[in-house]
């Protein structure tokens, strides 16, 4: 009656371990002891979740450190170096670099992902076409949302707008804007939201990426999102200006974001690397306080952003590592706080992408076994995912380390 049973699994919301019966790629039963018979595998009392959700990554420009000599380590330099490298991107080169990151992400337990893809006069549609192919190649292992993205502005180079339209017609499932690189951020936001409405896709903005508490683009976006009734379909990444706000101003903004239905993605590796370069000592952290936003009802996620490029010259696409990095920077300590950090790479991250991924009967059998007893411990210890299933099919295995004792 089951294709297989995953036994002795600890799951959120239950005190005793359970067996999970899988049938036709779906969770068919969750019970303390399912009958013997079908093929089985044991989680050995470890924590089982539905895998991680990457809400913000740039697969198209990952792995280009060899072509980008970093001198300043600033956002401006990163945009400039990447723009120059991008002109030389060929479809097979983008596919090969993106494939490496996607495979790493899957082996780190990520089963759903939104990747931005730059479509502008430098990249043309070459990166996008490579990503469409990659999405097709890995469809059985990971759900990939491709976000056609205007990294270098829009209103000063409207050819980008036409290429984004072409990408949306060619299967992009979300649209991304970047008002901070546009001479007219207000019009930029309007144009991206026009496309979101026209194609019925979510919009995701790189926004407020500096530490000046003034000149935020958030009020414009909040107002436009409310006026157009796009709540729940709009998200922002970075928003590092929020880390420069006084507590009362931060709470007011959090309430307006929650009310408007705008979600926030924090990208700790990049935000820590690029921000605060002018400080000679006592460098600001420059990471938006997502835990405070979450407590006021904002949907929040923690994500990878970049891997091995001028925006972030590090990275292994591990979201449990990113949740740990965020928890450390945000000074989280209690089980409840660490479990919130876990949610920011799982349940809340899925909600941000408009996906349901609860571990429940009837849900897709996306199951990942972590080497930890619960979600808080997994974040504390950066617990490695040991094996995982996508819609009931085994998609990776990461055998535990072996110690040869004294």
Q: Give the binding site for Zn ion (CB under 5 A).
A: 305
Separation CA 246–CA 226 (nearest Å): 25
CA nearest neighbour of 358 among 20, 2, 57, 96 = 20
Q: Give, for 145, the enclosing helix (H) or strand (E).
A: strand 143-149
**Nearest distance in Å: CB 176, Zn ion:** 8
* Closer residue to Zn ion (CB): 225 or 305: 305
**Nearest distance in Å: CB 237, Zn ion:** 5
**Nearest distance in Å: CB 403, Zn ion:** 39
Task: Please give the angle made by the CA atoms of 359, 399 and 305, to the nearest 5 degrees.
Answer: 60
* Closer residue to Zn ion (CB): 305 or 346: 305
* Closer residue to Zn ion (CB): 49 or 144: 144
Separation CA 16–CA 11 (nearest Å): 9
* Closer residue to Zn ion (CB): 46 or 114: 114
Separation CA 52–CA 392 (nearest Å): 16
* Closer residue to Zn ion (CB): 180 or 396: 180
* Closer residue to Zn ion (CB): 9 or 117: 117
**Nearest distance in Å: CB 265, Zn ion:** 8
Backbone φ, ψ for residue 201 (5° rounding): -120, 160
Find out whether 315 and 307 touch, Cβ atoms under 8 Å: yes
Q: Which two tokens stand for residue 150?
A: 């205007």
**Nearest distance in Å: CB 210, Zn ion:** 14
The length of the chain is 406
Q: Which two tokens stand for residue 129?
A: 């076409």
**Nearest distance in Å: CB 267, Zn ion:** 6
Find the Cα–Cα–Cα–Cα dihedral 42, 45, 47, 49, rounded to 10°. 40
Backbone φ, ψ for residue 146 (5° rounding): -95, 120
Task: Give residue number: closest CB to Zn ion.
Answer: 305
**Nearest distance in Å: CB 218, Zn ion:** 17
* Closer residue to Zn ion (CB): 34 or 113: 113
Beta strand 4-9 pairing with 40-42: parallel
């Amino acid at each position: 009656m089951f294709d297989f049973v995953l036994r002795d699994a600890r799951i959120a919301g239950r005190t005793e371990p359970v067996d999970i019966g899988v049938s036709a790629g779906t969770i068919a039963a969750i019970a303390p002891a399912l009958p013997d018979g079908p093929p089985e595998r044991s989680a050995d009392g470890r924590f089982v979740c539905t895998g991680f959700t990457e809400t913000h990554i740039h697969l198209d420009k990952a792995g280009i450190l060899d072509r980008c000599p970093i001198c300043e380590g600033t956002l401006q330099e990163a945009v400039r170096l990447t723009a120059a490298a991008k002109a030389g991107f060929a479809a097979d080169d983008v596919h090969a670099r993106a494939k490496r990151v996607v495979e790493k992400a899957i082996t780190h337990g990520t089963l759903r992902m939104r990747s931005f893809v730059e479509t502008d006069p430098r990249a043309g549609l070459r990166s996008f076409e490579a990503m469409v192919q990659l999405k097709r190649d890995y469809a059985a292992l990971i759900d990939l949302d491709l976000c056609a993205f205007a990294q270098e502005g829009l209103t000063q180079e409207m050819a980008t707008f036409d290429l984004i339209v072409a990408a949306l017609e060619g299967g992009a499932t979300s649209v991304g804007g970047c008002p901070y690189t546009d001479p007219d951020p207000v019009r930029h936001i309007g144009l991206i939201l026009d496309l979101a409405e026209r194609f019925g896709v979510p919009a995701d903005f790189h926004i407020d990426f500096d530490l000046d508490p003034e000149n935020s683009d958030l009020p414009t976006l909040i107002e436009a999102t409310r006026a157009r009734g796009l709540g729940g379909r709009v998200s922002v990444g970075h928003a590092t200006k929020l880390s420069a706000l006084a507590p009362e101003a931060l709470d007011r903004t959090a309430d307006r974001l929650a009310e408007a239905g705008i979600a926030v993605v924090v990208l700790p590796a990049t935000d820590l690397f690029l921000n605060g370069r002018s400080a000679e000592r006592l460098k600001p952290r420059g990471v938006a306080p997502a835990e405070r936003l979450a407590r006021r009802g904002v949907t929040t996620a923690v994500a990878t952003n970049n891997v091995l490029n001028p925006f972030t010259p590090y990275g292994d696409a591990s979201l449990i590592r990113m949740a740990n990095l965020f928890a450390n920077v945000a000074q989280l300590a209690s089980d409840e706080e660490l479990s919130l950090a876990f949610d920011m790479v799982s349940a809340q991250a899925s909600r941000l992408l408009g996906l349901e991924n609860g571990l429940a009967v009837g849900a897709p059998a996306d199951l990942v076994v972590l080497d930890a007893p619960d979600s808080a411990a997994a974040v504390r210890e950066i617990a490695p995912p040991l094996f995982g299933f996508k819609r009931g099919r085994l998609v990776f295995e990461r055998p535990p380390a072996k110690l040869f004792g004294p």
